[in-house]
Amino acid sequence: MLQRTWLATVLGLMIAVPSWAADGPFGIAMGTRLEDLTLSPLEPILGDGPVQTYGVIPPVPNEHFSEYHVELTKKAGVCVITAFGHKQLNDLDGAKVSAIFTMLKTALSGKYGPPTDTLEGLNDSATLTGRDQFAASLRKYQRNLSSGWDSVDPTSRIESIALIAGSSNGRDTYVILNYEMTNFSQCLDEYLPDDRDRGL
């Protein structure tokens, strides 16, 4: 029964991925303007300069995520999209977050190819090595569970993807899925002032 549920979830994610490629991750296209987003809350979460972070309600949400943020500027529009997974309570041994991570990695690999970078397992100097210390080792950065995709197909308008597992308290776990769009450098250009003529 569990295997059937896992397979259905993966297939459902893979079916949904083409719409991400057409409209952007979770239905948010690269360059989308602030006025075209459904904000939650209405005020920016971060940013008092050109680059600001907003919470949004995406057109195409995914059941494995509970919160979505975008980074944008007035000129470039949306250049980063980040989804935050549901908190996996009391996931001491990491079984829950590992299963979700694998599902998402499989779905993303089915669309964008194998990840270009993968870090999984304990660090050489880790001290939190017990079976029920998976979450604790994530919290203390003694364990890695992450995959990244760089130089994604340009037609997707995605520059890079990062899938990361973490823990904020050493007990509960979560995943984060981050997309940097191909206009990310434009957002950086607005954030970093051009001072080539400074003092001239």
For CA atoms 22, 71, 76, 32, the dihedral sign is: positive
Q: What does the radius of gyration of the chain's CA atoms come to, in whole angstroms?
A: 18
C-alpha–C-alpha distance, residues 50 and 192, integer Å:
9
The predicted-structure confidence for 97-138, as pLDDT tens digits, reads as follows 999 999 999 999 999 999 999 999 999 999 999 999 999 999
Average pLDDT over residues 150-161: 89
Q: What is the predicted pLDDT for the residue at 154?
A: 81
| Total H helices, total E strands in the chain | 4, 7
SS3 49: coil
Task: Name the one residue in this structure whose structure tokens are 């360059």.
Answer: 31
- pTM listed for this prediction: 0.84
For the stretch 37-91, pLDDT in tens is: 999 999 999 877 889 999 999 999 999 999 999 999 999 999 999 999 999 999 9
